[in-house]
Amino acid sequence: MQIGVESARAVENRRIFVVDTDEIIRAALQFMLHDENEAHELESVEAALVKATDWPPDLILLGQGLLQSEGLAALTRLTTALPGAQVLLVGSAADPILGEALAGGAHGLIPVPLRLEAVRKAVDQALGRG
């Protein structure tokens, strides 16, 4: 049963890639978003780029763990290969790499700890939903 989901959004089929090295964060975000979106968990930039060849995303949620391990090159690779996708960062606002990523082209931040309402609101705004 879908609670608090507008039927128009449930059939709209907006594709979101959740890209992070942290399996728990990926699973939590996928669970929070799957009722209103087509959400996919991916553990690397390479996996996201491979999947995007057949199914390009509308939005990418890029995790702090991935940025810490791969640096800003991860963001650059995604934004260059998928220019039509918005990128939201997921992590602690206090982490300097997230500030650098925001300055480097990311479109916003979803702070941890994750809260259902905040995640859905940020995603809706990034996807241009009212």
**Burial profile 112-122: b = 16 or more Cβ within 10 angstroms, e = fewer:** beeeeeebbeb
pLDDT band, residue 13 (cuts 50/70/90): confident
Give me the pLDDT at residue 7, please.
52
pTM for the predicted model, two decimal places: 0.91
Each residue's pLDDT tens digit, 85-124:
999 999 999 999 999 999 999 999 999 999 999 999 999 9
3-state secondary structure of 101: helix
| The two three-digit tokens of residue 110, written as one number | 């979803």
Q: At what angle do helices 23-33 and 116-126 cross, to 10 degrees?
A: 70
Average pLDDT value for residue range 49-69: 97
Would you say 85 and 45 are in contact if contact means Cβ atoms under 8 Å apart?
no
CATH 3.40.50.2300 fits 10-126, yes or no: yes
